[in-house]
Chain A
Amino acid sequence: EVQLVQSGAEVKKPGESLKMSCKASGYMFPNYWIGWVRQMPGKGLEWMGIIYPGDSDTRYSPSFQGHVTISADRSISTAYLHWSSLQASDTAMFYCVRSRVPNFPDAFDLWGQGTLVTVSS
Chain B
Amino acid sequence: DIQMTQSPSTLSASVGDRVTITCRASQTIRTWLAWYQQKPGKAPKLLINKISTLEGGVPSRFSGSGSGTEFTLTINSLQPDDFATYYCQQYSSMWTFGQGTKVEIK
Contact = CB atoms under 8 A, between A and B. Distances in A.
B104 interface: no
A106 B44 CA distance: 16
A61 B90 CA distance: 13
22 contacts: A44-B97, A44-B99, A45-B38, A45-B87, A45-B89, A45-B97, A45-B100, A46-B97, A47-B89, A47-B96, A47-B97, A50-B95, A61-B94, A106-B91, A107-B46, A107-B49, A107-B89, A107-B91, A108-B46, A111-B43, A112-B43, A114-B43
A46 to B, nearest CB: 7
A62 B1 contact: yes
Contacts of B49: 100, 106-107, 109
Contacts of A107: 34, 46, 49-50, 89, 91
Given A107-B46, A113-B43, 19 more contacts: A37-B97, A44-B100, A45-B36, A45-B87, A45-B89, A47-B89, A47-B97, A50-B95, A62-B1, A100-B49, A105-B91, A105-B95, A107-B34, A107-B49, A107-B91, A108-B46, A111-B45, A112-B43, A114-B43
Interface size class of A (residues with CB under 8 A): 20 to 34
A44 B95 CA distance: 14
Interface string B38-77: 1000011110011000010000000000000000000000
A67 interface: no
Nearest to A50: B95
A108 B35 CA distance: 10
A107 B43 CA distance: 15
